[in-house]
Structures are given as C-alpha cells and as structure tokens.
Homo-oligomer: A and B are copies of this chain.
C-alpha cells in the first residue's frame, strides 16, 4: 500500500542506499541513475514516513527564531514566543529544537548582530518578525543564499522566497472596529481615532488600521456617517495623553466614540474612567492586562485580539508542516480578527 524506499530501490534496480542518497541530494550517485531514481520517485509518488525518518535520524530539526525580546515593561513579544514554544513541545516527538535569537526592538545594531549569529548556526529553518523592514529584507536574502527556508510573522514584507506569512490583516481589523462603532453610535456624532505610539513602533499596522476604519465609512452609502477626527500621540505617558484627549473634548462637541489603533487603549480608558464619561464607545486592540481591567469595568467596550500566541504557534506548525511533511501552506495565513467583550473574554485567555 505505502511506498517505501525499498520499493523504489527494487523498481530502479539499485539498493536502498542509493535511493537514500538521491532523496537527500548527496553526492556519490552517477547522473544517470540519479535522474532515473528521481523520475521513479515522482512516478510512484514516494512520500517518506516521517515516523521512521525522525526515529532514525540522530540530528534534530533545528529552528531559529529571530524576534524582539520582552521585558516587564514590554510584554508584546512574550506571547508569540510562548506560542512557538508550545508548538515545539507538541512536536517534540519529532526531535525539534527551537533556538531563540532575541534582540532589542529599538536597537537596529542588536538586530544585525543577532541575525549574523543566527546564520552562523546554520539552522534548518527560520521564523522572523520584521521589525526593521529594510534590514529584515536583507536578512531574508541572506537566508535564501544559504538556502535556509524562512517564515515571517506579525508584519508582512512579502519576500518572494518566504514559506509563508502569519499575521493579521490590519486594514480589515480597522473595518471591524468601524463596524462595532457603527453598531454603538449608529453613525451619529463624532469619532476620534487615536494612535499612541512612540518611536513609530508598528507604524505600518497603525496606518493600515486607520485606513481600514475610514474606508468602512466611505463604502457606506445611505446611512449616517460620523465625523472622524484623527490624532497621533507620540508619547505614552498618562499626563500627556490626558492633556491631548482632554483638549480634544474641549475642542469638539458631541464625541460619541474613540478608536485607539493599538494596545495603548487603556490610557484612554483611564482618562474616560477618571473623568466619568460613561457614554463614549471605546474600541482598541490586544488582550493585555490593563486593557482587560477596563474591559471588565465597562470602560472599554470591545477589544480586537491579534492572537499573538496563535501567531507563534501557527508559524512553527506551518514551517514544520511545509518542511518535514511536504505540505505546502497558503502563502498568507491570516489570523482571525476576534472581537472580544467582557462576556466572551474568558474563552480567549490562555
């Protein structure tokens, strides 16, 4: 039923050793038999038995991870790493090893150093998050030169050679936020779009989310459309935010909703809570603790989850499936845009 190396060998009139050499692309095979074996392999649709293969090979399958490290103040990259490690432990029967190359997400040189270190370790595959766009692109080129397959997560840079991209569509998530806003405000009044970001971190995401948010209303015809006021806040200290948002409330009347384009939404929630403004609809991103706190006391109405854990998990699973099981993935693995409220929160917490 199942085709084994032995079957191929019999058919080709050579020994299993030769088949093995062909399969693994090793030398010491004459061009003639090599091409003959290759065609028989294809013809008989040989697929290696991953059980026997993993059992017999001493060397583990080594995956290198190149993402920023997390700190007590910046836990953003903690969940993706956990997701990767969880996937790894689920697959550890297959002798998988994950090696972490973690860098400071604000230090370009640190990134470069780590990426060199990574390439010198000659891993079997790479998972990377493109924080520094240009540098990551060069790093991927280097991977390709060394013929190391790689996968990108969280932020798409569409390298022609990448196995896949795992992440969320930021435009679409902006549209989801707009739909929630429409349900809550019915298109009346004004809506603020607030981006709180120092150092432009994740700036692409923020821009695209806002874009998707605005496009939603443009596509709407016939219904009422609110006035949308955008503001970028370059500092994430509470005092600064309080002053900025407070100023906007003085400047504009009839504000019905606020859409915060990233995880800093808890700062706006804090402001609304402190000033006891109950009837403002508030939507933001990410299930981090301060956000959850304000979700539970009804200051934040909805959060959109990026599912960082699942991103890491899927990245590892996908690259394993692609390389060990020969299952070619869809090039863009889009993570669902989950809408979280107080009532369904519990199911999403790991």
Distance to closest chain B CB from A56 (angstroms): 10
Given the known inter-chain contacts A51-B55, A55-B55, A183-B281, please indicate yes or no for A172 contacting B344, CB distance below 8 A: yes
Stretch at the interface among A17-25, A76-84, A174-182: A174-182
| Residue pair A344, B176 in contact (C-beta under 8 Å) | yes
Indicate whether A339 reaches chain B with its CB closer than 8 angstroms: yes
A180–B94 Cα gap in the complex (Å)? 45
| Residue pair B176, A343 in contact (C-beta under 8 Å) | yes
Distance to closest chain B CB from A97 (angstroms): 13
Stretch at the interface among A4-12, A108-116, A139-147, A329-337: A329-337
Distance to closest chain B CB from A312 (angstroms): 18
Indicate whether A216 reaches chain B with its CB closer than 8 angstroms: yes
**A317-350 interface code vs B (CB 8 A; 1 in, 0 out):** 0000000010000000011111101111011100
The A36-67 residues at the B interface (CB cut-off 8 A) are: 49-52, 54-55
Which residues of the partner chain B approach A348 to less than 8 Å between Cβ atoms?
A: 336
Which residues of the partner chain B approach A55 to less than 8 Å between Cβ atoms?
A: 49, 51-52, 55
Indicate whether A210 reaches chain B with its CB closer than 8 angstroms: no
Indicate whether A301 reaches chain B with its CB closer than 8 angstroms: yes
Q: Which one of A50, A216, A338 has the highest number of Cβ atoms from chain B below 10 Å of its Cβ?
A: A338
| Residue pair A347, B336 in contact (C-beta under 8 Å) | yes
| Residue pair B334, A94 in contact (C-beta under 8 Å) | no
A308–B176 Cα gap in the complex (Å)? 23
Number of interface residues of A (CB under 8 A): 36
| Residue pair B336, A93 in contact (C-beta under 8 Å) | no
| Residue pair B343, A347 in contact (C-beta under 8 Å) | no
Indicate whether A290 reaches chain B with its CB closer than 8 angstroms: no
> Which among B51, B52, B339, B344 is the interface contact of A344 at CB below 8 angstroms?
B339
Which residues of the partner chain B approach A173 to less than 8 Å between Cβ atoms?
A: 344
Indicate whether A184 reaches chain B with its CB closer than 8 angstroms: yes
A93–B338 Cα gap in the complex (Å)? 32
| Residue pair A338, B338 in contact (C-beta under 8 Å) | yes
Given the known inter-chain contacts A176-B343, A183-B281, A343-B216, please indicate yes or no for A51 contacting B93, CB distance below 8 A: yes
Which residues of the partner chain B approach A184 to less than 8 Å between Cβ atoms?
A: 183-184
Which residues of the partner chain B approach A335 to less than 8 Å between Cβ atoms?
A: 347
A55–B51 Cα gap in the complex (Å)? 6
A306–B343 Cα gap in the complex (Å)? 15
Which residues of the partner chain B approach A51 to less than 8 Å between Cβ atoms?
A: 51, 54-55, 93-94
Q: Which residue of B lies closest to A321 (CB)?
A: B90
A61–B281 Cα gap in the complex (Å)? 53
**A182-220 interface code vs B (CB 8 A; 1 in, 0 out):** 011000000000000000000000000000000010000
Q: Which one of A94, A302, A341 has the highest number of Cβ atoms from chain B below 10 Å of its Cβ?
A: A341
| Residue pair A301, B347 in contact (C-beta under 8 Å) | no
Which residues of the partner chain B approach A281 to less than 8 Å between Cβ atoms?
A: 183
A49–B54 Cα gap in the complex (Å)? 11
Given the known inter-chain contacts A55-B55, A94-B51, A337-B347, please indicate yes or no for A179 contacting B216, CB distance below 8 A: no
A94–B175 Cα gap in the complex (Å)? 43
Question: 10 tightest A-B contacts by CB?
Answer: A336-B347, A339-B339, A337-B344, A175-B343, A176-B343, A183-B184, A51-B55, A179-B343, A176-B344, A179-B341
